[in-house]
Amino acid sequence: MNTRKIILSIIGVLLIIVSIYGAITIVNNKKRPRPQPEKIVKTVFVDTVKNGTVSIVIPANGNLRAKQRVELYSEVQGVFKRGHKLFKAGQVYRSGETIIGIDASEYAASVQSAKSSLYNLLTSIMPDLRLDYPEVFPKWQKYLSDFNMDKSTPALPEMTSEKEKYFISGRGVLTSFYNVKNLEQRLSKYRISAPFNGVLTEALVTEGSLVRSGQKLGEFINTDVYELEVAIGKVYGDLLMVGESVELVNLNRTKTYTGKVTRINGKVDQASQTIKAFIEVKDANLKEGMYLEASLDAKEEKDAIEIDRGLLLENDRIFVVRDTILDVIDVKPVYFSEKKVVLKNVPDGLTIVSKPVVGAYAGMLVKVFDETNVKTAE
């Protein structure tokens, strides 16, 4: 029994000693210094500032429209006669060539009737002119002799005295003459001729159809000169000048054209706050409706630099590198494009960050990327 108690006592003492030793070991381990994390120094790309002249280019785009265009409307009624050229879209006409002819045989007969009445009236007053006004008779006799029923009625002889005017007017000659001229003027509307060399882009009637007064017949354009209407922000309106050259490129960027600013609208569009500018361009390969992109050389900013917009902080600050520390300086933006910004007040020789740095802040330790080492390693 005593032996059992002695053994249990010894085991208890051993357990206490092991526990104390384990506790001391744990305490000692906690006092060991924690390993310090390795400080990471980010590598940055930089550029050295060199101020110069930066061309401010305003991008714009739009669709071409012919500078000269005519919408063809009928002022008279009649049957559309077939001409020597088909009235179809794409048909080319020379200046003065008949585009549309409307049957005017009935109306032409009424014009001839009115001319005949005028001729008969003049014939009837000639005996009285010979007796009462022999001094003016020769010129009226010549007018009557030159009168041609198949040609346009010529202007009446100039009346030099009041008596002559009263006599001619009292016999109804003036009324009859102006009635004939009015009819002839309307007769000319039965034929629509090309005002310039061009092409028919729209044809809304066909030969043989009845044309009504006021009906639209088609559209005719000059294919020599086109205009590109572009909208630019009002803040850049004062930078544009009439007569400036503009580089234009097509949608696929396979062809380049040169245009010229011909007009700038003086009114700002209230909805979009933009100003319309019109660029004239000539080229045989151009077609109406083509989409073109324009680069407007609005201004040359001196003592400035151009950087990516992503490098600008709070719209007026950028990162610079002083030794191995990032710093921030104030700058003056003068123009923003879609991807770039033009800055002033950046001293020459300053080292600026040229590519964005994730998590960058003023006072951050950085390492400048050395391009020469990379080339040597290659």
Q: What are the tens digits of pLDDT across the range 43-86?
A: 888 888 899 888 877 788 889 999 999 999 999 999 998 888 88
Contact 205, 217 (CB under 8 A): yes
User: What is d(CA 87, CA 99) in angstroms, rounded to the nearest whole number?
Assistant: 7
Among 1-15, 22-36, 96-110, the range with the most confident prediction by mean pLDDT is: 96-110
pLDDT category, 120, cuts 50, 70, 90? very high
Least confident of 40-44, 46-50, 317-321: 40-44
- The yes-or-no verdict on residue 24 having pLDDT over 60 is yes
pLDDT tens column, 144-187: 888 888 888 999 998 888 888 898 888 899 999 999 999 999 99
DSSP H or E run through 262: strand 256-269
CA 140 to chain centre: 60
Section 347-353 average pLDDT:
89
Per residue in 267-309, pLDDT (tens digit) is 888 887 888 889 999 998 899 999 998 887 767 788 899 899 8
pLDDT value of position 375: 46
372 burial (CB, 10 Å; 0-12 / 13-18 / 19+) is exposed
Of the two residues 95 and 1, the one the predictor is more confident about is 95
Whole-number percent of the chain with pLDDT over 90: 35
Least confident of 138-142, 277-281, 363-367: 363-367
The confidence score (pLDDT) of residue 279 equals 92
Task: Give the whole-angstrom CA distance, residue 222 versus residue 33.
Answer: 88
Q: What pTM does this model have? A: 0.65
